[in-house]
Amino acid sequence: MDLRVQLQSATKEAMKARNSERLSTLRLISAAIKDREIAARSGAGDEAVLADADLIAILSKMVKQRQESARAYEEGCRMELAEKEQNEIGVIQEFLPKQMSADETAGAVEKAINDLGAESVRDMGRVMAELRTRHAGQMDFGTVGPMVKEKLLA
């Protein structure tokens, strides 16, 4: 099912169930998508439609923002706000592809390096670009970068 349709369906279900926390998060997602669409069509002049890959990028960014906020709230001993951020992360992650395990990530990194014939750190950009196209939304590229660098240095 199309990601956009899933979001609309989940929003309707949250309205019917009167689940205000979930509904609030789903509306935040819809607003972020609309903002991106408006920005995309500002130069084009006609209707700009975002692909699922663009939507996944938006959702991934939202998760990352909320993780940073939750960490800051925990450091500030504001546990109720950190818990709210964690709940939002849970809702957003329902619409993201399944995250790869550490072993799967290591295998994907190794395969990308072998497929591209990467030999040194100079090839890191190519490897990371390849991983982003193959596994968008499935891995945390903040942790993958050092892993790629380590394999290329070895």
89 and 106 assigned to the same domain: no
Total count of domains within the chain: 2
Identify whether the C-beta of residue 63 lies closer than 8 Å to the C-beta of residue 89.
yes
114 and 74 assigned to the same domain: no
- % of the chain at pLDDT higher than 90: 39
- Domain of residue 85, residue span: 3-93
Q: What is the pLDDT of residue 152?
A: 84
The enclosing domain of 126 has a CATH number of 1.10.10.410
- Mean pLDDT check: name the lowest of 10-14, 17-21, 49-53, 75-79: 49-53
Token output for 92: 């957003």
Q: What is the pLDDT of residue 47?
A: 61
pLDDT digits (tens, 9 = 90+) for 92-104: 999 988 888 888 8
pLDDT digits (tens, 9 = 90+) for 117-151: 888 888 888 989 888 888 877 887 878 888 888 88
Tell me the C-alpha distance between 41 and 133, whole Å. 23
Q: What is the DSSP letter of 121?
A: G
39 and 88 assigned to the same domain: yes
